[in-house]
Amino acid sequence: MNPPASIIPFSVFRFAPLVAGLGIAALIPCQSARGQAPDAAAKPAPAGPAIFSGSQIQPEYPVPYRAPTVEGITEVMTRVRTYLETASPARLINRQTREEITDLSKPHPEASLDRGENNSFPLISYENGVTYAGMLLTGEVTGDARFTEFTARRFQFIADRLPFFRMQYAANVAGLPPVAPNAPFIPGPAAMRRWEFHAVVDPHTLDDVGAMCAAMIKARRAGIGGELLPVIELQINHITQKQFRLADGTLARTGPQPETLWLDDMYMSIPALAQMGKLTGERRYFDDAVRQVLQFSARMFNRQKGVYMHGWTSNTPDHPEFYWARANGWAVMAMAELLDVLPEDHPQRGAVLELLRAHLHGLAAYQSGAGLWHQLLDRNDSYLETSASAMYVFAMARAINRGWVSPVAYGPAAQLGWNAVATKVNARGQVEDTCVGTGMAFDPAYYYHRPKSPYAQHGYGPVLLAGAEMIKLLKSDAVSITSGITQYVPKGSKP
In a domain, residue 84? The reply is no
- Average pLDDT taken over every residue of the chain: 88
Residue 100 forms beta bridges with which residues? Answer: 93
Q: What average pLDDT does range 255-271 have in this prediction?
A: 97
Helix, strand or coil for residue 307?
Answer: strand
Residue 262 three-state SS:
strand
pLDDT at 23: 37
In a domain, 344, yes or no: no
The pLDDT tens digits for 203-239 are: 999 999 999 999 999 999 999 999 999 999 999 999 9
What confidence score (pLDDT) does residue 166 get?
A: 92
Angle, alpha carbons 343-345-346 (nearest 5°): 70
Compute how many other C-beta atoms are within 10 angstroms of the C-beta atom of residue 403: 9
Local confidence band at 78 (pLDDT 50, 70, 90 cut-offs): very high
Higher pLDDT, 29 or 89: 89
d(CA 323, CA 247): 25
In Å, how far are 36, 133, 148, 224, 359 from 464, measured between CA atoms? 53, 9, 12, 19, 22
> Residue 256: is the preceding peptide bond cis (ω within 30°)?
yes
Does 29 have pLDDT greater than 50?
A: no
Q: φ and ψ at 276, to 5 degrees?
A: -65, -35
Query: What are the pLDDT digits (tens) for 132-182?
Result: 999 999 999 999 999 999 999 999 999 999 999 999 888 877 555 555 555
pLDDT digits (tens, 9 = 90+) for 379-416: 999 999 999 999 999 999 999 999 999 999 999 999 99
Q: Which domain holds residue 5?
A: 1-58
pLDDT of residue 179: 53
Q: How far is residue 335's CA from residue 107's CA, in Å, rounded to a whole number?
A: 41
* Cα angle value 204/237/92 (rounded, 5°): 55
| Residue 74 is assigned to a structural domain of this protein | no
Residue 36 pLDDT exceeds 60 = no
The number of folded domains in the chain is 1
Identify whether 167 is part of a domain: no
**50 domain-assigned:** yes
Distance, in Å, from the CA atom of 131 to the CA atom of 112, rounded to the nearest integer, reads: 21
Q: Count the neighbouring beta carbons within 10 Å of the beta carbon of residue 317.
A: 5
Q: What is the pLDDT of residues 85-134, one digit of tens each?
A: 999 999 999 999 999 999 999 998 889 999 999 999 999 999 999 999 99
pLDDT reported for residue 39? 39
- The answer to whether residue 34 sits within a structural domain is yes
The yes-or-no verdict on residue 2 having pLDDT over 90 is no
Q: Is residue 6 part of a domain?
A: yes
Q: Say if 163 falls within a structural domain.
A: no
Q: Please report, in angstroms and rounded to a whole number, the separation of the first and last CA atoms in the chain.
A: 23
pLDDT at 364 exceeding the cut of 80: yes
| CA–CA separation, 293 and 276 (whole Å) | 16
